[in-house]
Amino acid sequence: MTATFAAAYDAALYARARHEAEPTGALFTAPKRPAPLTAEQQRLNFELLGQGISSRHQAAPTEPDLTTIRALTIQPPWSDLIALVNEAIAKRIENRVWATSWRGTLLIHGGLTIDKRAMALPAVRQALPDGYEPLPGHVVAVAELAGIHADDGECTRWSEPGCFHWELSHVQPLLHPVRATGSQRLWKPSRQLRDEITAANPALKGRLAG
C-alpha cells in the first residue's frame, strides 16, 4: 500500500513539475486564424445554406405561428423603393445576410436611419419620384414574403451578390403610412399597431386580420 501511495505522489510531482516547466506562451498562445474564404468558397457556402433552407421549408407546416404577421425594418430609401407601385422599377428583392423559414404577410417598416449613400445612387434617384423625401419610422407597405433563395447573381436590378434574396410579392403601399418603432430581424407587430394601420388604411383590414 505504501509503495502505491509513493508512486502516485511521485507521479503527481512529476506532472506538476512538467506543467510548471512549460513556457507561458505555449499555454496561452491564441490559435491561428483561418485563411479568408475565397469567392468560390463563399458561393458554395451560400448554396449549402440555401439547400438547408429548402429542407426546412418542407417541414414548415409543423412550425407554430406559421401565419402570424411579421414586420421587417429596412432603411429608407430601400423601404420606400419596396412601396413603389410600378413593378418595372419597384424593389421586389430584399437583400439580407441571413434567412428564415417563415413565410407570410410582412409589414415593410422604414427605419430611423437613412442610407445616405443609397440616396446618391443613380438607379435609386431614377426610380424614386421627383421631390422624394424619405419617410423614416413608419410602416409604408404590406407585402408577402414568398420565398428566399441564396445568391444566384443579379436576379433583379436590386439584387446584391453575397446575400440571401428575399422574394416579395403582392406589395401594397399604405396610402397613409403609420408611425411605428422598429426592431432587428423579423419582429411581431402589436395588435394595436395593426389596428392603427387598418384604421388609417381600411382596404388592408382583411389582410391584417391575422
Contact 103, 147 (CB under 8 A): yes
55: Cβ contacts below 8 Å, ≥ 6 apart? none
pLDDT score of 5? 45
For the chain, domain boundaries: 39-58+66-204
Other CB atoms within 10 A of residue 36 CB: 7
Q: What is the pLDDT of residues 61-94, one digit of tens each?
A: 434 455 589 999 999 999 999 999 999 999 999 9
Q: What pLDDT, on the 0 to 100 scale, is given for residue 68?
A: 81
Res 39: pLDDT: 58
- Residue 112's pLDDT is 97
Longest CA span, the chain: 95
Alpha carbons 89 and 127: distance in angstroms, whole number = 6
Q: What is the pLDDT of residues 9-23, one digit of tens each?
A: 455 544 454 444 433
Cα–Cα distance, 141 to 109 (Å, whole number): 7
pLDDT number for residue 9: 47
In the prediction, which pLDDT does 47 show?
A: 57
Q: What is the pLDDT of residue 73?
A: 98
Record: fold of 39-58+66-204: 2.30.130
Calpha distance 128→115 (Å, rounded): 14
Q: Strand order in 93-96's β-sheet?
A: 93-96, 164-179, 138-149, 104-110, 70-74, 186-187
113 within 8 A of 78, measured Cβ to Cβ: no
Q: Spell out, as residue ranges, where the chain has pLDDT lower than 70.
A: 1-67, 210
Residues 6+ apart with CB under 8 A from 50: 99, 149, 150, 164
In Å, how far are 6, 7, 9, 168 from 2, measured between CA atoms?
A: 6, 9, 11, 79
